[in-house]
Amino acid sequence: MQAGDSSPADGGVLRFVTAGSVDDGKSTLIGRLLFDSKGVFADQLDAIARAKYKRTEGDAPDLALLTDGLEAEREQGITIDVAYRYFATPRRKFIVADAPGHEQYTRNMVTAASTADAAIILIDATRAADGKLLTQTKRHSAIARLLGIRHIIVAVNKMDLLGWDRDTFERIRDAYAELARRLDIPSFHALPLSALKGDNVVTASARTPWYDGPTLLNLLESLPVDAPARQRPLRLPVQWVIRHGGSSVEDFRGYAGLVSSGELRVGDAVQVQPSGVTASVQAIYLGSEPRQEALAGDAVTVVLDRDVDVSRGDLLVHAHAPARVERAFEADICWLDTQALNPARRYLLKHGSRLTSVKVKEILSRRDIHELAEVTGGEPLQANEIGRVSLAVRDPLPLDDYAANPGNGAFILIDEASNQTAAAGMVRLA
């Protein structure tokens, strides 16, 4: 069996993440998608067939090993790190992230979900048959909602172990509908499947005549992709100021960075934030090649028509569509450090290419994952908890609300003493 060589139609690239609790079958599901869509090479199948940690019987391949690549993952039968896989069908290209289910690896799930267009929330039907959802199902759903993932797919897995009982599926679907209502998830699609057997993953199953919806792959192929980043306002964080020939009349000064959103063309009027100084674009280089325009995702060097004060950490924006410059703002954060949030500790905030000190002024609220309720103020955030905080930064930052422009509305907090990543944050501007 070899990877398919057909060229996918221009359906865009869909990035999706699989999430859920431990042993819900996330790695097996991705392996099944790759296997049944002909996205696995023969040597990969041969390697997992000979793996010493193979957990299937007979000649059946252990598809989870296609994503669980670490020795510790294969030994324990769990996912620890995020595994990214790429595959394509005649209709679309896909980038899939297999996120860990363990609570202690929630930070890895946040990383995987931060760039996803869709999230597949797996639910083990044998453990939720009574309609009671596991805590990690709730936590991952809350994170997906916070990150603004538009498309939620609820994959009720291991239905083969329950004889494809329709009542059980509907009970779990209704329980998730209540969860979605409380988390303000506008819509989701639920489907019954067996990742191990392949039912309703790529091909429709004869065992579910009562389900008339699409298979998982059909659903993924039909989901609309969010508006491209280039349709948002221009945001170009400066990562490096390039100078050479400083003693020459024709010395070169350029500003290098990755265009996180928007489009930039030669002749455009731009503003340097946070200073507010304006200039026009004289030249754009992609590597050493001159270009007339740059799009979101391009790593470019920009030359302005006059010498202005631009440093690493500044943001280039169109003069007519600047970001808001703030020293104090609110944000939703997922606390990742094993040490609880302590407003008395010193933290650093990394936003784009700028690093500045930050003060946690107030813990406004935290989300009780078990009760799905917002608890106002009170206790500090513990590891893997989600809450809203009020922050004050030393240096003014050009910010966008995360919902409007995720690339310029995201940040991380770093513990200044340990240099550990303490939290992932999403800017919320009133």
- Measured CA to CA, the distance from residue 391 to residue 4 in angstroms comes to 50
Q: Is residue 5 part of a domain?
A: no
> How many alpha carbons lie under 13 Å from residue 8 in its C-beta half-sphere?
17
* CATH number where 292 lies: 2.40.30.10
Are residues 238 and 199 both part of a single domain? no
Q: Is residue 3 part of a domain?
A: no
Q: Is residue 4 part of a domain?
A: no
Are residues 264 and 130 both part of a single domain? no
Are residues 262 and 392 both part of a single domain? no
Q: Is residue 8 part of a domain?
A: no
Task: Give the pLDDT confidence score for residue 181 in this predicted structure.
Answer: 95
> What's this model's pTM, rounded to 2 decimal places?
0.83
Q: Tell me: the pLDDT tens digits for 135-149?
A: 889 999 999 999 999
Type of residue at 5: D
- Measured CA to CA, the distance from residue 343 to residue 128 in angstroms comes to 39
Q: Is residue 215 part of a domain?
A: yes
Are residues 294 and 340 both part of a single domain? no
Are residues 72 and 114 both part of a single domain? yes
Task: Give the pLDDT confidence score for residue 428 in this predicted structure.
Answer: 97
Task: Give the pLDDT confidence score for residue 167 in this predicted structure.
Answer: 97
Q: Is residue 335 part of a domain?
A: yes
- Write the DSSP symbol of residue 380: P
Looking at 286, 318, 350, which one is the last position of a domain? Answer: 318
Are residues 341 and 310 both part of a single domain? no
Residue ranges making up the domain that contains 91: 13-222
By the 8 A CB rule, do 410 and 402 touch?
yes
Q: Is residue 81 part of a domain?
A: yes
Are residues 275 and 300 both part of a single domain? yes
Are residues 284 and 377 both part of a single domain? no
Q: Tell me: the pLDDT tens digits for 372-396?
A: 778 887 688 998 889 999 999 999 9
Looking at 203, 222, 241, which one is the last position of a domain? Answer: 222
Task: Give the pLDDT confidence score for residue 309 in this predicted structure.
Answer: 94
Q: b vs e for 255-286, b when ≥16 Cβ sit within 10 Å of the residue's Cβ?
A: bbbbbbbbbbebebebbbbbbeeebebeebbe
Domains identified in the chain, total number: 3
CA distances from 380 to 147, 320, 361, 364, 370 (A): 22, 41, 12, 10, 17
Q: What is the crossing angle of helices 135-146 and 166-183, to 10°?
A: 50
> How many alpha carbons lie under 13 Å from residue 333 in its C-beta half-sphere?
31
Q: Is residue 53 part of a domain?
A: yes
Are residues 274 and 362 both part of a single domain? no
Q: Which residues of the chain have pLDDT under 70?
A: 1-11, 38-81, 101-102, 226-227, 245-250, 378
Are residues 92 and 213 both part of a single domain? yes
Are residues 53 and 180 both part of a single domain? yes
Are residues 241 and 276 both part of a single domain? yes
Looking at 268, 288, 318, which one is the last position of a domain? Answer: 318
Taken in order 405, 263, 260, 238, the sign of the CA dihedral is: negative
* CATH number where 197 lies: 3.40.50.300
